[in-house]
Amino acid sequence: MKGLIIKDFMILRRHQSVMFLYILIVTIILAVMFVLSSKHGNISQVMDGLMADKGFTTSDIQHVIFDEIIIFMLLPFALVLDVSAIILADNKASFSKVSACLPVSLSQRILARFMSIGLLSVIGMAIDLIMVILLSVFTDIAGFMTLLGIMVSLASIMLIMSFLTVMFSFLLGSGKEDYAQFASVFTMVAAAIIFNIKSIVAIFKTSSLDITHYMRFLNNIVDFMAYKSYIMLIVMLVVCVLCYWGSVKIAENKRGII
């Protein structure tokens, strides 16, 4: 089983190593620029301006900055958890022919894929941790634990998406990796909309000039990610178990086809 995990890492090393270095460097540069700008540059000036002209509160500003940070922190996970690239490479090489003949059961092969995803997320977390340390030590944007909470939430979201992609790829069959990824994104967006339907309706009901509901909605999401990351972690673990079970059942039923 360990060999299959190593093989997954070999695929990503082959396909993403240059991009990985690029993202690592960009992340560090962005974090440093953020630190400098929040102290002496544009971010500091915009924060003052928004508070003076638009009536934004300090909390609003902080949440807007969090939004930016979330996007930066999402990049490493999006890159290292490129599960569809691994599935696509396996299908292109017809690796299932090799793996089916190995002394590894079907459930172990799927477990290996899930473990690969888990280990890859550790790499994403390691990169994000650099940003978390830099921002928490050198800026007043947020404390270490708050940023760590955002990181855990982001890791959980990306892991959920990856687990769903694996399950959907078994469900849809080989050659449909893009559809599997789309299905996982669609499922997550749908779940997010259902859980926040009241807030979303409130945003659309109010005037376009009134951004109170919108800001509250964004603030709630960011607060949830920062301070209730344990919920995302639990959801991720539940989804992981369900997707593993679902993948094994689907693969067992489609044995010989996929």
Partner 1 sequence: MNVIEIKGITKDYGDFKLDNVSFSIPEGSVCGFIGQNGAGKTTTIKAILDIIKVDSGEVFVFGKDVSRDGAAIREDIGVVFDEMGFHEFMTGKDINIMMKNIYKNWNEEVFFDYLKKFSLPSRKPCGEFSRGMRMKLQIAVALSHNAKLLIMDEPTSGLDPIVRNEMIQIFREYVVEEDHTILLSSHITSDLEKLADEVVFINKGKIFLSGNKDEILEKHGILKCKKDDLKKISEGLIVNYDVESYGVSILVNDIDACRKLYPDMVIEPANLEEIMLYYVR
Task: Name the residue nearer to partner 1 (CB basis): 8 or 128.
Answer: 8
Region of 92-100, 137-145, 191-199, 207-215 interacting with partner 1 (CB under 8 A): 92-100
Contact 66, 226 (CB under 8 A): yes
Total binding residues toward partner 1, as defined by CB under 8 A: 29
Backbone angles phi and psi of 176, in degrees to 5: -125, 40
Region of 4-12, 21-29, 64-72, 192-200 interacting with partner 1 (CB under 8 A): 4-12
Task: Name the residue nearer to partner 1 (CB basis): 5 or 236.
Answer: 5
CB atoms within 10 A of CB 56: 19
1 binds partner 1 (CB under 8 A): yes
CB of 3 to partner 1, least distance (A): 4
- Where would I find the H helices in 81-105? 83-92, 95-99
Is the dihedral angle over the CA atoms 93, 94, 99, 105 positive or is it negative? Answer: positive
Backbone angles phi and psi of 47, in degrees to 5: -60, -45
Task: Name the residue nearer to partner 1 (CB basis): 98 or 234.
Answer: 98
Q: How far apart are CA 249 and CA 252, in angstroms?
A: 5
83 binds partner 1 (CB under 8 A): no
Q: How far apart are CA 180 and CA 166, in angstroms?
A: 8
Region of 45-53, 95-103, 178-186, 226-234 interacting with partner 1 (CB under 8 A): 95-103
Residue among 4, 23, 69, 240 that touches partner 1 (CB under 8 A): 4
CB of 12 to partner 1, least distance (A): 11
Q: Which residues of 75-93 are buried (b: 16+ CB within 10 A; e: fewer)?
A: bbbebbbbbbbbbbbbbee
Residue among 3, 41, 49, 175 that touches partner 1 (CB under 8 A): 3
Beta-carbon contacts of residue 218 (< 8 Å; ≥ 6 apart): 63, 64, 67
Report the site for partner 1 in 236-255 (rule: CB under 8 A): 252, 255
Residue among 95, 182, 214, 217 that touches partner 1 (CB under 8 A): 95
119 binds partner 1 (CB under 8 A): no
Q: How far apart are CA 189 and CA 118, in angstroms?
A: 22
Region of 31-39, 74-82, 91-99, 185-193 interacting with partner 1 (CB under 8 A): 91-99
Q: How far apart are CA 240 and CA 234, in angstroms?
A: 10
CB of 99 to partner 1, least distance (A): 8
Interface residues with partner 1 (CB under 8 A) are 1-4, 6-7, 10-11, 14, 89-90, 92-105, 108, 252, 255-256
